[in-house]
Chain A
Amino acid sequence: MDENGRVILDLEGVTKVYGSGEFAVSALKETNFRVTGGEIVAVMGPSGSGKTTLLTIAGALLRPTSGNVTVCGIDVTRMNEARLAAIRRERIGFVYQSFNLLEALTALENVRIVLHERRNHSGAHAAERAREMLDMFGLSHRINSLPKKMSDGEKQRVAIARALAKDPELILADEPTANLDAKRGREVMELLRQKALELHKAVVVVSHDNRIREFAHRIVWLEDGRLHDHHPEDHRFV
């Protein structure tokens, strides 16, 4: 965890309601959530509990119905789409459940592409940085491979390399182990934890996979749109 306790992500009283009138559904209710640099937080909960809504609001992809969202000290709640895109580009790295690599691009190009619109990244520099990241994740031999030629574990490692390549302060991972077997899931989480700690990133992992718990500094439970510091029905989480 960040020794100075610098807050990277801060959700204050965030509510998200989908639909309106009698069809209104509250995905998040008055949620407060804070993550500091160097901290790995697992958000757990059953399907439909609001995990993805929390993640996409934290990722500046979705606007809350009420409440405030601050990323790296910047209030993003009422930002326009162009500025939100810039926040995502500069400050946030995403790791997805289904890897979300671009199929026509090689591993190197998939990592390089996210550096495209960043400042201080010329083509050569971006390629060099992408190569370094893939090397860090043991994928040097795969730099010219297309996603369809890679295993699921390799794809997720490329995805994590892509998330870290732009050196974001916040990493948001959505069910990163859901499409991996137990061994590969563990490997990927270990790698994510190790690199996040090394590089001092704030990490939020959303999952309903119990194996995630051992990699997190802190676990929060989301159910019916409400965040709890412990499992509502299981005191082992306290």
Chain B
Amino acid sequence: MLLVARKNLFSERTRLAISVGGLALSVFLIGILLSLFRGWSQQVGGFVEHVPADLWVASDGTTDFLAASSALPDALGGKLKFVPEIDVVSPIIVRPMELYKSGDDPNDTFDVQLVGFDPVVGLGGPIEIVSGKKAPGPGEVIIDEETRRRYDVNIGDRIVKGTKSLAVSGIASGGDFIYTQVAFVTIDTAIDFVNLEPKTLRTFILLTLDDPDDRDNLAHRLDVATPGAKYVAPEDFADETRSRILGNILPILIVVLVVAFIVGLSVAGLTIYTATVEKSREYGILKAEGFTNLFLYRVVFEQSLVTGILGFLLGAALTVLVAPFAQDSVPQFVVFVRWQDILGVAGVTLLMALIAAYIPIRRIASIDPVTVFKG
């Protein structure tokens, strides 16, 4: 680093602290928001992606798992069993519900996405059991560990809707959708619990195939052969589910990211600009002494760059340190810190440093060295 740049930067410790602090705050905000976005993306699409099905069957017009407006006749499942390329057919019932823990205030409800599946087939059931029974029996429910953590519902408790209740017999993981969690019951329990009419309706049908590579071809043929039903790949269905939640949040997230960028840029830009204006005469002296504009630009750029690096290191450290604490305190604050994102934030910080140096550099270019001979 050039002597003048280093000395200018570190001789004004307060200004440096403000500059680095502003950039660190910006980096922290950008880092934490990106991690939050990654965490949510991973979480809300996770269940659909991890169900070991090759195809999801839904009624036409259904876009994702959470809307669950799909309604298919059980008879369709019966027909699909006769398709030679299909190995397993597993109809499931999915309903969003508000429940409360028995013994609590009935107004203290929480959301679950109730999934009725066939425990014998297993497809559409819990991704991984954390404790308790591996499959629910009649009148039993396996809840997600996030439901247990947030609402203090444990094995042995009953969860209630109206006059009906379910006994919690197990805890599973991998079914958290941030604002709701999946709860698993048998298909017969689901029919009874949600008062399904007609009782032969199913929400989705899950299929596994003999040859998963033939999936797209088969989906196309079945689309044509069974009007009213659509056949979707799990990854597409997961993406649509993510879009439902994140699509609404993303514009807000982008606005906050832009604000964070502007805050960082403004703080760094203003402090570097004022430092340059304050040192205008000294830059004039250097020009008079024969230093080229390029050398002086380097001085400003190096100051900006070092400020950026310090701000980035502090901000990135804050992100990595604060994220786990925030996640523990606020269950919805699901973050996933990726090194690729941290690298991206480093790039953004470099951009901020470059832009922050631009106006001061223009100012230096306009300094007339003759002025140093005045007074």
Contacts and interface: CB of A to CB of B under 8 A. Distances in A.
Interface in B6-57: 7-8, 11
Interface in A99-132: 100, 102-105, 109, 112-114, 116-117
A199 interface: no
Contacts of A59: 288
5 contacts: A92-B290, A102-B285, A113-B289, A114-B290, A174-B373
Contacts of B3: 105, 109, 112-113, 116
Contact of A85 (B11, B285, B287): B287
A89 B11 CA distance: 26
Q: How large is the interface on A (under 10, 10 to 19, 20 to 34, 35 or more residues)?
A: 20 to 34
B375 A89 contact: no
B282 A103 contact: yes
Given A97-B375, A100-B281, A56 B290 contact: no
B281 A105 contact: no
Q: Would you call the interface of chain B mostly helix, strand, loop, or mixed?
A: helix
Nearest to B295: A117
Given A100-B372, A105-B4, A88 B282 contact: no
A108 B11 CA distance: 16
A152 B98 CA distance: 81
B375 A62 contact: no
Interface in B276-295: 281-282, 285-293, 295
A208 B4 CA distance: 34
Given A61-B369, A81-B293, A102-B7, 18 more contacts: A52-B373, A56-B373, A59-B288, A85-B290, A88-B288, A89-B291, A94-B288, A96-B285, A96-B373, A100-B285, A100-B372, A102-B4, A104-B4, A113-B4, A116-B3, A117-B291, A117-B295, A174-B373
A85 B373 contact: no
Given A86-B290, A98-B375, A61 B11 contact: no
Contact of B292 (A56, A82, A90, A109): A82
Interface of B: 3-4, 7-8, 11, 281-282, 285-293, 295, 369-370, 372-375
Contacts of B372: 96, 100
Contact of A62 (B8, B281, B286, B370): B370
A81 B370 CA distance: 13
Nearest to B283: A102
A112 B282 CA distance: 15
A28 interface: no
Interface in A138-177: 174
Contacts of A117: 290-292, 295
A59 B374 CA distance: 15
B289 to A, nearest CB: 5
Contacts of B288: 59, 61, 88, 94
Q: 4 smallest A-B Cβ distances: which pairs?
A: A89-B290, A88-B290, A104-B11, A104-B7
A55 interface: yes
Question: Which residue, of A55, A86, A103, has the highest number of chain B Cβ atoms within 10 A?
Answer: A103
Contacts of A94: 288-289
Contact of B373 (A97, A104, A112): A97
B174 to A, nearest CB: 58
Contacts of A81: 293
B326 to A, nearest CB: 40
Contact of A87 (B7, B290, B293): B290
B290 A104 contact: no
A114 B292 CA distance: 12
A137 B282 CA distance: 23
Contacts of A104: 4, 7-8, 11
Nearest to B284: A100
Given A104-B11, A113-B3, A117-B295, A90 B290 contact: yes
B292 to A, nearest CB: 5
Contact of A55 (B286, B287, B373): B373
A104 B286 CA distance: 14
Given A105-B7, A117-B291, A61 B285 contact: no
Interface in A189-231: none
Contacts of A98: 375
